Structure 1
Amino acid sequence: MLENLISMTLDEIKKGYSYESQHQKFICNICGKEFESGEVFRVNDKYYDASRMIKIHIQSEHDDMFDILASNDKKYTGMTENQKDLLRMVYSGMNDSEIAKKNGVASSTIRHQRFVFREKAKQAKLYLALYELASQGADIRKKSYDKNSEFIDMHKGAKMVDDRYFITKEEEEKVIQSMFSSMKPLRLKTFSTKEKKKIVILKKISEQFERDKRYSEREVNDIIKDIYEDFATIRRYLIEYGFMERTKDCKEYWLK
């Protein structure tokens, strides 16, 4: 979901799905499942069109959208866990007095925090409007703006975020072309010690794993071996840089 966040509208983010007009299909932002317009879907002896089925899918297969969005790290939400907990209580229907009592503070403190939330929301909307106008204006005028100069999206589990993650699409493509000898099948020439190149390499290798699938350590090793002989180093860095996670006993691995 985070990978396509910048291209989604606020409404699409809140609903959990988007509509691709070119191919006339509804797409779940969370798992990527697609429902094409014109198809009829059967659920418990009832039939639904794609526009209704995508909503049923979100409700039955995924958690509440508030919880899904709130589960993202502070670097994406800009909120502390305490702030998210407060909004969660507001979302649940609790009033100021109930929230204050639960947190052992005065109602005025909760009112002040809600005011701060509102002001930040106004600021965020204005920021987004200015950003979109600037991007659209540059694109229309076809001046110095180059889509290759856009930054690639950080992966969800990115750790110690700093300037090594400031990688443009053009830089990413150059690294891929220079560091890999083949794309299909994927073959890595050498594992660079330079941070930006390392991130691009790991990002490309992580794409060989399926999201929402659990892998044994042996399966992870087998996939990496086909790409680069030093599979242990690649596996270690996939974990260290937050592209993958694993259980404490190292029996299961999965994409972050």
Structure 2
Amino acid sequence: MDFITYDIEQLKKGYTYDAETETFHCLICDQTYEKHEIFKLDERFFDAEGMMQHHIREKHVSVHHYLLGLDKKVTGLTDHQKKMLMSIQSGMADKEVAEQLSISPSTVRHFRFTMKEKARQAKVFIALYDLTFLEPQSFVPVHAHATMVDDRYVTTEDEQEKILKNLFVSLEPLKLKVFSSKEKKKLVILKKIAESFTPGRTYTEMEVNEHLKEIYTDFATIRRYLIEYRFMARSKDGMSYWII
């Protein structure tokens, strides 16, 4: 899960909704459910969002449980602090938490106070982070159908311009010099090539191949990655292709 990409409410829910594709997407495991589908489970019926919530409970217990299971370098919490948060979240009173963990109730109260202070500091830190690292630079938007969004997709417009300049012989017409194995560079290349297709048009495989041959000799590799990284889709029989 990329914690920079998603806002706090999305992280708390554990899933997002993509209005363009009308799908709910689990942030933990990439399970998706389409909005207009109805799902039957154990004689009960769920809409897509209800099914996503059921999925998180069944597969991940809860978002709270998943986040607490992350490494200390991600959460900043010790194992003892995680146990206290789990106990408090379950609804235990301070005295019950203290008895369970063999500590004093005053220690639990102090922990609650400390967590509130950390939350206050975190809000200020996030504001400072955005002001320092995000606002002065212009970042390239992540394409709508990207999955497993992580640091590979964090690219400034300046970085994108340098990558295009170094890896393309020409941008008009589009001629690729080398298809980089570096993930960030690969995504910039694929995005640029995808933009050379006409949105809304359906292509045959031969048309896609001919188009890509004009850009790069290893057209089959480019075609495969366009689909793998969800810049392009194809029909089940492999006869039709289109930009998504």
Q: Tell me whether the two structures share a fold, i.e. TM-score over 0.5.
A: yes
Aligned length: 166
Q: State the partner residue of 1:163.
A: none
Greater CA radius of gyration, 1 or 2? 2
Alignment partner of 1:47: what SS? Answer: strand
User: Per the alignment, do residues 102 and 51 of structure 1 end up closer, same or farther by CA in structure 2, a change over 3 Å counting?
Assistant: closer
Deviation at 1:64, TM superposition (A): 2.3
Q: Quickly say closer, same or farther: Cα 1:127–1:57, change in 2 above 3 A.
A: same
Q: Does residue 75 of structure 1 match 2:73?
A: yes
Structure 2: distance between partners of 1:48 and 1:99: 36
Partner of 2:90: 92
Unaligned runs of 5+ in 2: 141-148, 168-177, 187-244
In structure 1, C-alpha distance between the alignment counterparts of 2:26 and 2:59, rounded to whole Å: 10
For 2:41 and 2:101, the matched residues in 1 are separated by: 43
**3-state SS of paired residue (1:42):** strand
Partner of 1:128: 126
User: CA 1:153/1:7 → structure 2, altered by over 3 Å: closer, same or farther?
Assistant: closer
Report deviation, 1:27: 0.5
Question: Is residue 58 from structure 1 mapped to residue 82 from structure 2 by the alignment?
Answer: no
What TM-score does the superposition give when structure 1 sets the normalisation length?
0.53
Structural mapping, 1:12-31, within 5 Å: 12-31=10-29
Aligned counterpart, 1:43: 41
What is the distance in 2 between the residues matched to 1:76 and 1:154?
A: 15
| Change in CA separation of 1:168 and 1:27 when aligned onto 2, cut-off 3 Å | closer
Aligned CA-pair RMSD: 3.7
Do the aligned partners of 2:16 and 2:24 also contact (CA within 8 Å) in 1?
A: yes
For 1:76, the aligned partner's letter is: V
The 2-side partners of 1:71 and 1:115 are apart by: 22
* Unmatched 5+ stretches in structure 1: 139-143, 156-166, 189-199, 205-256
Superposed CA deviations along residues 171-204 of structure 1, whole A, max 9, x for unmatched, are: 9x96x96xxx656xxxx6xxxxxxxxxxx68xx9
Give SS of 2:33's match: strand
**C-alpha contact (below 8 Å) 2:68/2:82 kept by paired residues:** yes
The aligned residue for residue 147 of structure 1 is: 139
Q: Which has the higher contact order (CA 8 A, sep 6+)?
A: 2
1:66-215 paired onto structure 2 within 5 Å: 66-132=64-130, 138=135, 145-147=137-139, 153=150, 170=159, 182=179
